[in-house]
Amino acid sequence: MNIKKWIAIPLILLMVALTGCQAVGGFDVSKNLLGTLDVKSQQSTEKISLKLTPREGITQGDQEIIDLINSISVTVDEAKVQSEEVASAKGTLHIDKYNLPFELALDRQGMAIQLEGAKKPYYIPFNPQEGLEGMPAGFDPYVYSKDVRDLTKTAAALMLKHAPNPSTISATSVTEEVYGEKDKVKLTHLHAELRGDELVALVKPFLTNLAKDEAGLKELISQAIDMTKNIASGMNLEGSDKVTAELSANKEKLVNEAYTEVKKYLDLAVAQYDVGVSTLYAQSPEIKTVLSANTVLKTDSYFDEKGNVRKASTDLTVALPDVEGLPVKSFSIVTEAQSWNINGSVTADKVDISNGVIDLNKQAELTPGATLRNFDANSPIYNILKNDLKITKVETTFNPKDDYYVLENRGGTAFIPLRELKYELNSELKWDAAAKQITVVDDITGKTLKLKSGSKKATLEGNTLTLPQAPYTDQYGTLYVPFKTVAEALGATVTRNSDGGYVLKRD
């Protein structure tokens, strides 16, 4: 499918921002939503689930996959946000009949995830310098996090100020039980619903109102210039003093020039909005399905007397177009959460990484064999990976007439480039320049096979293995090996099908 057909995704996200922004029944929606941006620490519970609605007449295989996905949910028993940079969570991943406990912790250096049955936690390192090419060595974006946070809040306030309410929105006083409270708590229940077609209708008045707010736009631009000036002054680069001086001296002029450009594009967007929507629907009718009345966002938020969200739930259902190969007509994401100790003293938990980690940025640590070896063979997740997801399973057909695979037949023996076999079986290759010998390490068992170009004698786990013919190196430096014998040494099988193709299999 053409990626432009999914241009509606940002609009779906915008639904969240437009589900009730003006005052409702005396409740200042905008003010209370903005207050959530001031939360620095808290504890919470949450549950997230996904539901796919299948189309009629789909295959049994598709239905089984949908049933498996629909069985997945995540329950966070306790999340601890210590600060903007430090947090942790403990919970359970539910898949089919399995319940898989997990722990995670993150800080400025990275995120560690410990799964039950895993010998080592998984780790995602954070590189603050990544994407900062051209910045001076040691530049720390965290230093300017307050500037970014303040600018974000100003931008959010501007959006909320002009976002019209959907047709379905209400605010009522209720008394509810909240996690961690002995007595019931007085809350304001804000309920809102927004349909996809209503979202399309609300965007134009939102842009119209925004275009008229000269003071609000100029304030946002002014704050962006101030942040730029702070970053420039803190980088200590040659000429940075001149830049900050020019920004200060010409700030009013820069604000006016930027506002003129922003205003021009906003006015243009408003003037062309209706035609643009009609053209988009004509060119990509699938988007009209996504942004139809069948796409609905429902939200329920419960604010305490301090304006803190103590309970919240969302249900987003997105209608999907009827296209070939898509067995699902809609999907829903449902979340439920409760919070307490908001902006109180919170200490996040740690995941023990003293015995090493599996780095998710390193492909070599994520092969099927490496993944399975990190889990106890009796653990549920090992069984899921090996038997349900079949991550070690390989089945590839090689057509000897297909130049892509470059199969060669010499004296009745099929040869294949070793690098191709390595790719299919996730094997590791090690070259010994002194011995002019290559070692193949099997991904699943860890067994080693040592080969030499021009020699029929190989070594499998220290034992001599005689090959039907000697491996050879072609004019481009590619090493070819006897397909069937080497594949079997690495735990796979090679058979011929009725079309004369070679079928490589591994369970």
DSSP track, 345-393: ---------TT--EETT-GGGGSHHHHHHTB-TTSHHHHIIIIIS-TT-
pLDDT at 25: 61
pLDDT at 321: 93
Q: Which amino acid is at 339?
A: S
Residue 348 lies in a domain: no
The answer to whether 458 touches 464, Cβ cutoff 8 Å, is yes
Q: Are 404 and 450 found together in one domain?
A: yes
* pLDDT over 90 (residue 365): no
Which of 4-8, 85-89, 203-207 is least confident? Answer: 4-8
Q: Are 331 and 366 found together in one domain?
A: no
- Give the domain CATH number at 408: 3.30.457.10
Residue 352 lies in a domain: no
Q: Are 332 and 457 found together in one domain?
A: no
pLDDT at 4: 34
Which of 180-194, 251-265, 299-313, 402-416 is least confident? Answer: 402-416
Mean pLDDT of the region 8-27: 50
Top-ranked range on mean pLDDT: pick from 13-22, 207-216, 235-244, 360-369: 207-216
Residue 212 lies in a domain: yes
Residue 52 lies in a domain: yes
Burial tier of 359 (Cβ tally within 10 Å: 0-12, 13-18, 19+) = middle
Q: HSE-up of 299 (CA within 13 Å, CB side)?
A: 20
| Residue 135 confidence class, pLDDT cut points 50, 70, 90 | low
Q: Are 482 and 443 found together in one domain?
A: yes
Residue 62 lies in a domain: yes
* pLDDT over 60 (residue 10): no
Q: Are 80 and 181 found together in one domain?
A: yes
Q: Are 144 and 242 found together in one domain?
A: yes
Q: Are 478 and 373 found together in one domain?
A: no
* pLDDT over 80 (residue 221): yes
Q: Are 162 and 213 found together in one domain?
A: yes
Residue 230 lies in a domain: yes
Q: Are 384 and 481 found together in one domain?
A: no
Residue 356 lies in a domain: no
Q: Are 134 and 209 found together in one domain?
A: yes
Q: Are 56 and 130 found together in one domain?
A: yes
The answer to whether 479 touches 369, Cβ cutoff 8 Å, is no
Tokens of 216: 């609000």
- 8-state DSSP, 12: H
Greater confidence (201 vs 401) lies with 201
Residue 455 lies in a domain: yes
Structurally, how many domains does the chain consist of? Answer: 3
* pLDDT over 60 (residue 152): yes
User: What are the start-end ranges of the H helices in 284-363?
Assistant: 286-290
pLDDT at 5: 35
Q: HSE-up of 264 (CA within 13 Å, CB side)?
A: 6
| Residue 26 confidence class, pLDDT cut points 50, 70, 90 | low
Residues 180, 181, 183, CA angle at the centre, nearest 5°? 155
pLDDT at 248: 83
Tokens of 349: 């938990």
Q: What is the span of the domain harbouring residue 442?
A: 394-506
Which of 238-242, 278-282, 357-361 is least confident? Answer: 238-242
| Residue 37 confidence class, pLDDT cut points 50, 70, 90 | confident
Could you tell me which of 80, 45, 105 has the C-alpha nearest to residue 347? 80
* pLDDT over 60 (residue 136): no
- 8-state DSSP, 166: P
Mean pLDDT of the region 400-422: 85
| Residue 1 confidence class, pLDDT cut points 50, 70, 90 | very low
Q: Are 303 and 401 found together in one domain?
A: no
Tokens of 199: 């979202």
Tokens of 2: 């053409």
Instruction: Give the C-alpha separation, 128 to 143, whole Å.
Output: 11
Pairing of strands 394-398, 328-340: unpaired
Could you tell me which of 84, 87, 125 has the C-alpha nearest to residue 105? 87
Could you tell me which of 422, 394, 403, 411 has the C-alpha nearest to residue 503? 394
- Which letter, b or e, does each residue of 120-148 get, where b requires 16 or more Cβ atoms within 10 Å of its Cβ? bbbbeeeeeeeeeeeeeeebeeeeeeebe
* pLDDT over 50 (residue 238): yes
